[in-house]
A and B are shown apart, each in its own frame.
Chain A
Amino acid sequence: MEGTRVLYFDMERCVGCHACETACKIENNISIGPKWIEVVQHDVLKDDGTWTMKFMPMNCRHCAKAPCIPACPTGAIEQGADRVVLVNSRLCIGCAECLQACPFGAPQFGPGGLMEKCTLCAHRDPEAPTACEQFCPVGAIRSGRPQELSSQKRKQCLFIAAAGVTARSTGEA
Chain B
Amino acid sequence: MRPEKKERMLILGAGAAGLSAADAIRSVNPDSPVTIVSGEKGLPYARMALPYYISGKIPVKGIFTGMRRDFSGRKIEYIPGDPAVGLDTHRQKVLLRSGLALEYGKLLVATGSVPEYPDMLAGLDAPGICNLWTLKDALQIKRRIEHGGAIAVWGAGFVAFMAAKALAMHGRKVYLICRANRILRRVLDEGAAGLMEHALSEKGVVCLKDTNVEHIGVLKGGKKHIVLDGGRELAVDVLIVALGTRPNTGFLHETPLAGKKGLEVDEYLGTRIPGIYAAGDLALVRDCVTGERIAHALWSAAVREGRGAGLNMAGDRHQCDLSLLMNVIDLGGYGAVSVGHPLLANNTEVYQFADKAGKAYRRLVFQDRRLIGAIIVGRCTDTGFFPALIRGVPELTQARKQKILRFPWNIAPALLGL
Contact = CB atoms under 8 A, between A and B. Distances in A.
Interface string A73-116: 11110000000000000110111110111111111111111000
B66 A96 contact: no
A74 B20 contact: no
A33 interface: yes
Given A58-B412, A113-B335, A70 B58 contact: no
Interface residues of B, number: 43
A136 interface: no
B170 interface: no
Interface in B58-89: 58-59, 62-63, 65-68
Interface centre among A44, A71, A104, A109 (most CB of B within 10 A): A109
Summarize A's interface: helix, strand, loop or mixed.
loop
B22 to A, nearest CB: 12
B331 interface: yes
Contacts of A156: none
B118 interface: no
Contacts of A94: 330
Interface string A52-72: 000010100000000000111
Interface residues of A, number: 39
Nearest to B61: A91
B382 interface: yes
A122 interface: no
Contacts, number: 111
Given A34-B381, A70-B23, A75 B58 contact: no
A66 to B, nearest CB: 14
A173 to B, nearest CB: 13
B381 A73 contact: no
Contact of B62 (A42, A91, A106, A110): A91
A91 B49 CA distance: 10
A35 interface: yes
Given A75-B68, A90-B59, 6 more contacts: A38-B412, A93-B52, A100-B326, A105-B382, A105-B385, A112-B333
Interface of B: 16, 20, 23, 46, 48-49, 52, 57-59, 62-63, 65-68, 299-300, 303, 307, 324, 326, 328, 330-335, 337, 379-385, 387-388, 412-413, 416-417
23 contacts: A40-B416, A58-B412, A71-B303, A73-B16, A73-B46, A73-B66, A74-B63, A75-B67, A75-B68, A76-B62, A76-B65, A90-B62, A93-B57, A93-B62, A95-B330, A100-B324, A101-B300, A103-B388, A105-B388, A106-B384, A109-B381, A110-B333, A112-B333
